[in-house]
């Protein structure tokens, strides 16, 4: 089903209905907890000038050092950004974007999700007239006071200028400066409003917080994410990529398509293991003690926090209040 939205002449956008991957039959039909009742949204951001590094990536520019990985590309008369770093790093990041793209303004900023590391540039970009593009659930979170297991305190709503101006519900595609970008919702995967952005002509995928090459990316299980959603997201991404696809996580090193397929297999095996734990009546502390991810810890780090959150999210999904 198409979604029509207002956009500048240099950007075209169309929506389409996507098929929904359940993958394992065990993933079908489960319900996850919705958002909880939703000091500053950017609490914890460190003051001081950020050091931004830029690297070419199949015709795009990958910027690191602003609090998250940021992709940018030039359009006809402005730049496109995917994610916006922490608010404390905005000046350095925007300067790096304009230098990398040869433009003098950001015409569109896409938020892969609502966390502070992704949304620090929203207010200055929005105040300057740029479009802020996000999933509609990301828009809800950015307009509310939110608690999360991943942050201390309460994240306050962004100012009106930093709120997303173009919200999507279904998957679709847009064109920016002659470059096609496919986007899709990964429901209940890292948050409840995750988007991926795929550049098929450049074989680059921005996957947001769903995957990582060197860590266990946690789930915001108080705000709609659960482990079954994470597995479904990896199943979808594994079908989308080629072995050589360059995959950009929210932070940390790049992945390739082969790694996404491997992560899908690891996470699916863990899902099936934790179903067994639930049948035994285990709690989260038992799953952590058993540590079915022990063999991967040398590669991805201590799995305790990830296992605890993943198992708690499954308990919420299976035994809702």
Model confidence pLDDT, tens digit, residues 184-208: 999 999 999 999 999 999 999 999 9
The reply to whether 246 falls in a domain is: yes
Average pLDDT value over all residues in the chain? 87
The pTM score is 0.86
Element (H, E) at 19: none
Asked whether residue 215 is assigned to any structural domain, the reply reads yes
Is 1 part of a structural domain of the chain?
no
Domain that holds residue 262: 11-318
Q: Is 51 helix (H, G, I), strand (E, B) or coil?
A: coil
Coil vs helix vs strand at 154: strand
DSSP H or E run through 6 = none
User: For residue 10, what pLDDT is reported?
Assistant: 38
Q: How many residues does the chain have?
A: 321
Percentage of the chain surpassing pLDDT 70?
84
> In a 3-state reduction of DSSP, which class is residue 86?
coil
Higher local confidence (pLDDT), 46 or 285: 285
> Domain tally for the chain?
1
Specify the residue for token string 């952005």: 197
Q: pLDDT band at residue 37, thresholds of 50, 70 and 90? A: very low
Token output for 257: 């398509």
Contacts of 275 (CB under 8 A, 6+ apart): 26
4 falls within a domain? no
Q: How far apart are CA 304 and CA 298, in angstroms?
A: 13
Contact 58, 166 (CB under 8 A): no
Of 141-150, 215-224, 312-321, the one with minimum mean pLDDT is 312-321
- pLDDT tier, 35 (very low <50, low <70, confident <90, very high otherwise): very low
In a domain, 5, yes or no: no
**Residue 48 confidence (pLDDT) above 70:** no
313 lies in some domain: yes
Residue 120 lies in a domain: yes
User: Which CATH number covers residue 258?
Assistant: 3.60.15.10
pLDDT at 130: 98
């Amino acid at each position: 089903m198409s979604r029509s939205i207002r956009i500048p002449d240099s950007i075209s956008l169309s929506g389409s209905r996507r098929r929904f991957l359940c993958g394992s039959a065990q993933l079908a039909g489960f319900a996850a907890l919705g958002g909880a009742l939703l000091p500053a949204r950017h609490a914890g951001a460190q003051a001081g000038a950020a050091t931004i590094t830029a690297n070419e990536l199949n015709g795009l520019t990958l910027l690191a050092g602003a609090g998250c990985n940021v992709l940018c590309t030039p359009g006809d008369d402005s730049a496109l950004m995917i994610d916006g770093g922490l608010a404390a790093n905005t000046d350095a990041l925007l300067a790096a974007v304009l230098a990398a793209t040869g433009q003098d303004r950001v015409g569109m900023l896409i938020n892969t999700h609502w966390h502070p590391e992704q949304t620090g540039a929203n207010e200055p970009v929005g105040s300057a007239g740029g479009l802020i593009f996000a999933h509609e659930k990301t828009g809800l979170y950015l307009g509310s006071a939110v608690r999360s297991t991943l942050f201390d305190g309460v994240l306050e709503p962004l100012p009106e200028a930093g709120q997303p101006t173009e919200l999507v519900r279904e998957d679709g595609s847009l064109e920016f400066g002659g470059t096609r970008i496919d986007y899709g919702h990964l429901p209940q995967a890292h948050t409840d409003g995750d988007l991926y952005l795929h550049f098929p002509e450049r074989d680059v995928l921005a996957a947001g917080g769903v995957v990582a090459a060197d860590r266990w990316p946690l789930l915001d299980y108080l705000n709609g994410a659960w482990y079954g959603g994470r597995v479904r997201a990896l199943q979808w991404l594994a079908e989308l990529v080629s072995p050589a696809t360059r995959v950009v996580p929210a932070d940390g090193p790049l992945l390739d398509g082969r790694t996404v397929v491997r992560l899908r297999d690891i996470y699916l095996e863990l899902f099936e293991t934790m179903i067994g734990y639930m049948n035994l009546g285990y709690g989260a502390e038992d799953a952590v003690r058993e540590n079915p991810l022990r063999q991967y810890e040398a590669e991805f780090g201590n799995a305790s926090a990830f296992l605890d959150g993943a198992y708690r999210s499954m308990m919420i999904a299976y035994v809702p209040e």
